[in-house]
Every structure is written in structure tokens, then in C-alpha cells.
Chains A and B, each alone.
Chain A
């Protein structure tokens, strides 16, 4: 500042006329130039402090960048607006409301926690904003759409619903654990959460049909930190394998399973085990853990899988967790729907989304229709999306099923006793 005393009033007298002139000049120039087409805004709600939630937003941003590099959608760029919901349903609803009414997004991709997705769902209907969840699994999400189509049609389920996750695990068990390892009994171990209620119900139904008798069914509080009593109880019942349904927990039960040398293998769904940082977080105790997932490094579920995995890992230092794959696909699916609909009108978008036939990183994406039980859920089956199964071996996720894309064989660490051995 120069030495002379500048009182606020004198300063104002100096600045104001110049500011007005500058503003006028700018507005003239911008009015003269052709205005850039308005970007298409997509809101992404994720849990920034959780590994899975962080992958939702990172993958979505990558997808937007990819689409924009290829010219955007109908000449319009995609703009991703990120919201952190602090793993709270109330915060997520607030974020959704803000995205819809303040930031005026055309669609929202949100959360891998079923409780959060279920809280957002009615608001997508009230505010008429299409909403896809890339990771939540509860069957209620799509059941609501089936039961009250007019109100809930704006919600789509971007990952396999719990019932199909369980079915895929039963199919996997029948083809490998039962066939090759002669397992006959199992204990179900799952966290008490919205997504596991339908999961466990399906487990109880399909596991016996796959050849595994269910000896017991343990549901524990998601805030559990000490799993010793649970493992001791399971061991006392001598099952051949433990079928898991865990997402909120993962590191702690796995580490304790290893430290206590529990001699029973674990397979099923362990969401935290789907990301590459899991090996580091468990200090390698994940050896031998099997989980269902969307895709894994090194395996081409579709021609798009590997390029995405490599690019994501290069940028973020870890491989995408299962909802990273789906989030990446969901942005493309939304863009594709907008292109086909020719507009961002919510009802037209819903019509276009229902007709989705998109080859993404996880398989070919189609949604169930109005007359199906799980309306707007991801279609499950060969040729569509089946998910894949990985086992942690020596620090790597080895894909062991479906056999067509497997790049390794199942191998259990020495401490595990299977009937075969």
C-alpha cells in the first residue's frame, strides 16, 4: 500500500467506478461471445472417510473426465459435484436435497450403505431426480420401486441386490467348495444390517440346495470389535466353511480369524476385502479369504475392465473397491441414457434408463422392468452381470470363479482344515 492514508471512503471512491466499468466491459464481451453449453451436473454422494465410499467419488470423477475427453454428451460436458455424507443417513438426505434443489443436478449416484440409500430413495421420488446406488445391496431398494412405481421409479439399483449376491455365492459354492473340497456344512456369519436380512434369507434357502447344510446363523452388532466369542462359538459347531455377509466390518474379524488360527475357511461377501488396501490393512492376514466382488485387477470381465482398473490404480494408488467399478459404469449409464433421451428431463431419463443395455466394466448392464419382482435392480445371470469371486493369495486378488475368466485356483493356507485335506 502507498504511504498516504487511505480512508475506507476514499478507497471506495477509487474502486467503485473502476469496478463498474470492468463489469460492464466483461458483460459486453461475454454477451458478444457464444455462451458455452451448460454442463450436465451429476451429484455423487459418498462416504469420504471410508475406503469404499472414497472409491465411489474417485471413480465417478474418472468417468466424467473420460466422457468429457470424448466430447461430452450431445456437446455438453459432465460436471461431477461431490458430497460427503459422513456415513450418516440424515447427512446424505441433506446432501441429496442440496444437490437437487440448490445445485440442480440431473442425477445422483449415491452410497454403498443400504441404510443411506433407503433414506435417499423416497426423496428421489419427491424431488424427481434419478438416483442410482452403486453399492448398496438391500432388496428393499428395488422392492419399493415395484410396489409403488409411480412414486419410486426414479431409483435404480446399480449393483447386485442381496438376493442375487447370495445366489451367486451359492452357485460358486456348488461349483467349487462342494464339488472340489467336499464341504457339507456351513455356519452363516453376518453383520446385523439392512442389506444382510435378505442376504441371509436367501442363504438359508439356496445353501442347502447347493449342498451345504446350515448349522447355525450368527448375526452380530456392526459395532463389534471383539470377534473371539463369535469365532469360538462357530468353531464349536465344526462347520466345513464359514459363509460371511460383512461390509461394515472386515479388517478386524479377518485379523482376529488369522491370529486365533481358526481352522475354518471364510467365503461369501466381505466388502472391505474387495479393495487392494485390504492386504495392507490386515498386514497380510487376509491370505485365503474368498469374497464375491464386481471385478478384480488382471481379469477382463469385459474389454473395459482392465483399462479402468489400471488407470484407477495408477491415479489413486489402490485398486478400485467393488463400488468403484459400478460407480464408473453408472456415470456412463446416465450419460448414455441422457444421450438416448435427448434431454435431462427426469421422466424421459427414467424411460431411457429402463432401456439400458450397456457393456461396462462389470458386465452387461440391464435393469429389471416394472413387472419383475426387483424392479430397476441389476439383471443377474450369465451374459449380463454375475460378479466374480476372488481369493487373496500372496498379496494379490486371484480371480477363481467363474471358471471362464478365472486366472488362478483356490488354495487355502496351512492352518485351514478342509474335508478334502
Chain B
């Protein structure tokens, strides 16, 4: 039964990817731009879901990792003209290092304390960017001379490819032995430890992986937009949107997070004519979904399949 469901999921996902890949010939440059941003957002959300859905750790500051990746790449490109692939790699490395520094002491904490530390990390990074404004451009932000491409279609495909590859890796991890151990430790850490698994080591690994993908995605996002600022990559509101995307799409499904992210961005864009009220409406809808459909969009579909 499970096998059938998985392969149905596989076919549906493959179909979606193919449709997404041919969209550039139908859509305008502007809408492609919206979707490109949404795909990077999808990677943010998937990385978060790995950490939360599986390791059970609520990371309130995914933007700490994203911001580290983004700003490292931006500063390297701006100040030293380092070629883009190296900038992105450096960004990923910075995010992982930052993630480890944050996680190692933080994972010893239980409950809301971990969440608070992640939140404080974001605030500290924000303050650091503002204080070292000479290097980072401060609150106004900085522009990056080299971008991935100026062709919206090329940018779109880069983003889509990145989303698909990340999705495959992250999903694969979630279904692997490591993923199952993570899931066990997330649901009941004591029991997992009693069974002999090194819970902390696995959670740390999950954190590193989450940081790695967040860092790359952050760096690529900056290289796509050609600009980095506190408001776009280190905002707490952005972190909230990531959490909402993952919960909306369905926790512990990885793919649901990507779906939720795209849905959220598209909904916000579609409601743009409402002016001030679009954030309100989107938040209200998200609230309704998590109260009435806590399993999220994809989670609901999958659970329904399981109950058959």
C-alpha cells in the first residue's frame, strides 16, 4: 500500500516538475520572477521541515542561516569579485559553521528555549549587519555586481533545478535510516536514546544539513536578486513565513513545505490588488488552515490515502 502511494506521489511530483519546466514559454517575465523567488523560498521551507518535522526542533530563526549564507556570498562578490560558484559555496559553509556554533550548545536546551535562542540569533545578526554597515551596507543593504543571469527564463530554470535537486536530496534523507531515527528522536527523545541512538549527534547532523541548504539557497537568492538587505534575508517576518509555509504544506512531508511556500507566495501576489489587506487575508487563511487542517495541504492528502 505504502509503495503504491509513494510511487503515485512520485508520478504526481514528476508531472508537476515537467509542467513547471515548460511554464516559461507561457508566462510573462514578471510572473516568472515571482515563481523564481517562490522556488528559493521552497528550499528554505524544505530545509526547515527537515529540522522541525523530523528532529522536532522549532527553529524560529531560519533567517539566521539564510542571512549568513546570503551576506557571505554578497560580501565576497562585492568586495573581492570572487566567482559566483565559490561565493555560493562560501555562503553554504558560513551557514553551516554558524549553524553548528548555534546548535551545539542550543540542542542541550529543551522546549521553548531552543526556539528563543534561534530567535535571538536572528536579532543579533541583524544588529551585527547594522553595526558593520561599512562592509554590509547597513539597513539599506548592498547591491551585488554579478548576478546569475539577466534572463528571467534562465533564472527561473536555475531556481527550479535547485528546488528539484534539493527536494530529491532532502526527501531521500527523510526516508533514509537517518531520517527515521530523526523522526523517532523528534517524537520521543527518551525512547530513542533508550534504544541506543545518539540523539544529539543526529539532531546536530540534521541542523547542519538544514543549514547547508538554507545557506546555498540564501546565497543563490542574493545572486538572483542582485541585492541583499536585512529586510529581505534576515527578517523575522520572513522566518515566520517559512514556518507557515511548512506547516501549511504539511509537516514531515518535505515536499509539502515546497508546495506551501509556492502557494503562500502566489496567494500573496494574487491578492496584491487588496493593497494593505493582502497580508491580513493570507495570514487569516493560513490560521484557518492550521486550525482546521493541521496536517496541511499535502499532509491531509497523504493521511487520507493512508486511511483508505
Partners in one complex: yes
Is B279's CB under 8 angstroms from A86's CB? yes
Q: Which of B30, B231, B275 contacts A88 (CB 8 A)?
A: B231
| Chain B: number of interface residues, binned into ranges | 10 to 19
**B34 contacts across to A, CB distance below 8 A:** 94
B276 touches A97 (CB 8 A): no
Classify chain A's interface size: 10 to 19
A84 CB contacts on chain B under 8 angstroms? 275-276
Partner of B229, one of A48, A90, A97: A90
* Interface flags, B273-291, vs A, CB<8A=1, else 0: 0011001000000000000
Residue of B nearest to A221 (CB): B130
Q: Is the CB of B276 within 8 A of A89?
A: no
- Measured CB to CB, the nearest residue on chain B to A98 is B30
List the A side residues contacting B279 at CB < 8 Å: 86
B28:A90 contact, CB within 8 angstroms = no
Contacts of A260 in B (CB 8 A): none
Interface of A is mostly: helix
Cβ of A102 within 8 Å of any chain B Cβ, yes or no, is: yes
Give chain B nearest CB distance to A181 CB in angstroms. 36
B6 interface contact, C-beta 8 A: no
Query: Are A101 and B29 within 8 A (Cβ)?
Result: yes
Partner of B231, one of A90, A94, A102, A194: A90
Quick check: B141 and A89 within 8 Å, CB to CB?
A: yes
Set of chain B residues within 8 Å of A49, measured between Cβ atoms: 276
Residue B33 at the chain A interface, CB threshold 8 Å? yes
Q: B272 at interface (Cβ–Cβ under 8 A)? A: yes
> Is A58 part of the contact surface with B, judged by Cβ < 8 Å?
no
Residue A82 lies at the interface, judged by CB distance under 8 Å to chain B: yes
Chain A residue numbers with a CB within 8 Å of B31 are 102
Cβ–Cβ < 8 Å partners of A328 in chain B: none
Interface residues as binary, B19-41 with A (CB distance below 8 Å gives 1, 0 otherwise): 00000000011110110000000
- CB pair B30–A102 under 8 Å, yes or no, is yes
B residues within 8 A CB of A194? 140
Q: Is A115 an interface residue (CB 8 A)?
A: yes
A234 at the interface (CB under 8 A from B): no
A118 is an interface residue with CB less than 8 A from chain B? yes
> Considering the chains assembled together, what is the distance between the CA atoms of A125 and B232 in angstroms?
22
Q: Mark A34-58, 1 if CB is under 8 A from B, else 0.
A: 0000000000000011000000000
Query: Nearest CB to that of B143 among chain A residues?
Result: A122
B-side contacts of A83, CB under 8 Å: 272, 275
A-B contact pairs, 28 of them (CB 8 A): A48-B276, A49-B276, A82-B275, A83-B272, A83-B275, A84-B275, A84-B276, A86-B276, A86-B279, A88-B231, A89-B229, A89-B231, A90-B229, A94-B34, A95-B272, A97-B30, A98-B30, A98-B272, A101-B28, A101-B29, A101-B30, A102-B28, A102-B31, A115-B139, A115-B140, A118-B140, A119-B227, A194-B140
